[in-house]
Amino acid sequence: MADHPEDRPPEEARLPEAGLPEAGLPENVRWLLSYYRTSEINGALFFGRVARAVRGPLVADVTHHFADESTHASLWTRCLSDLGLEPIKIGKAYQDQYLAAIGVPANLMEIMAITQVFERRVIGQYRLHLRHRDTHPAVRATIERIMLDERWHISYVSDALHDMEGRYGADTVAATLRRFAEADEEVYAKTLSEYADRMDFLTARYGR
């Protein structure tokens, strides 16, 4: 089992207080943080189902992953509250588009493969957000806290996929990762196109 970071702050630890609502925060910030929150909720629901079904050596890691996703949703809810903002109801999360593009994963290897691709996308998006000069300190602290877990997710999933090469074959695992990565590129491009007006404060500066 991959080591889980032990230097995390306790879950109840408060992020830097944002104080009163700030009139200068764009509505798009509220939307994007709500989008992150919804994505984490969907991730928790997905990994809750996986944790309930999985057997063997991955049960502890997958269950921890489920708990992490739930914690991340809570962190985004807290961040929005600290900023004086109510979450927006988001009808469709990033994962929903994944399943529409590739279908339901057929086995645990495919679950791990799609998780690896998705977690890399999440880290990429969060890094992009951190690079933005106007990122609020409370948002920055939330992202940095969450990324501790995201890095571990990639580590344990990568180890799991390596172990699965003996059963499925290294070529099959690699081909599955490529297929999901190609689907991810399409989904992300579609997301940027569909929500360009919502994400332009992040994407325009970097030409995404």
Q: Convert the pLDDT of each residue in 173-197 to its tens digit.
A: 999 999 999 998 888 888 777 776 7
Of 92, 119, 123, 128, which is closest to residue 204 (Cα–Cα)? 128
Of 124, 110, 122, which is closest to residue 157 (Cα–Cα)? 110
pLDDT in tens, 127-175: 989 988 888 999 999 999 999 999 999 999 999 999 999 999 999 999 9
DSSP 88: P
Tell me if 107 sits within 8 A of 174, measured CB to CB: no
Q: Is residue 2 part of a domain?
A: no
- Using DSSP's 3-state secondary structure scheme, residue 186 falls into helix
Q: Is residue 22 part of a domain?
A: no
CB neighbour list of residue 27: distance below 8 Å, 6 or more residues apart: none
pLDDT score of 46 more than 80: yes
Residue with more model confidence, 39 or 99: 39
pLDDT score of 68 more than 80: yes
Cα 5 from chain centroid (whole Å): 17
Q: Is residue 97 part of a domain?
A: yes
Q: Residue 17's pLDDT is what?
A: 40
Q: How far is CA 52 from CA 17, 56, 97, in A?
A: 36, 12, 23
- Note down the domain range covering 184: 27-197
Type of residue numbered 123: I
Q: Is residue 203 part of a domain?
A: no
Type of residue numbered 119: E
Of 30, 29, 42, which is closest to residue 115 (Cα–Cα)? 42
Tell me if 181 sits within 8 A of 117, measured CB to CB: yes
For the CA atoms of 137, 143, 144, 148, what is the dihedral angle to 10 degrees?
160
Q: Residue 1's pLDDT is what?
A: 52
Rounded Cα distance between 175 and 158, Å, is 15
Q: Is residue 72 part of a domain?
A: yes
Number of domains observed in the structure of the chain:
1
Q: Is residue 37 part of a domain?
A: yes
Q: Is residue 102 part of a domain?
A: yes
CATH number at residue 91: 1.20.1260
Q: Is residue 5 part of a domain?
A: no
Q: Residue 92's pLDDT is what?
A: 72
pLDDT in tens, 3-21: 555 444 444 334 334 333 4
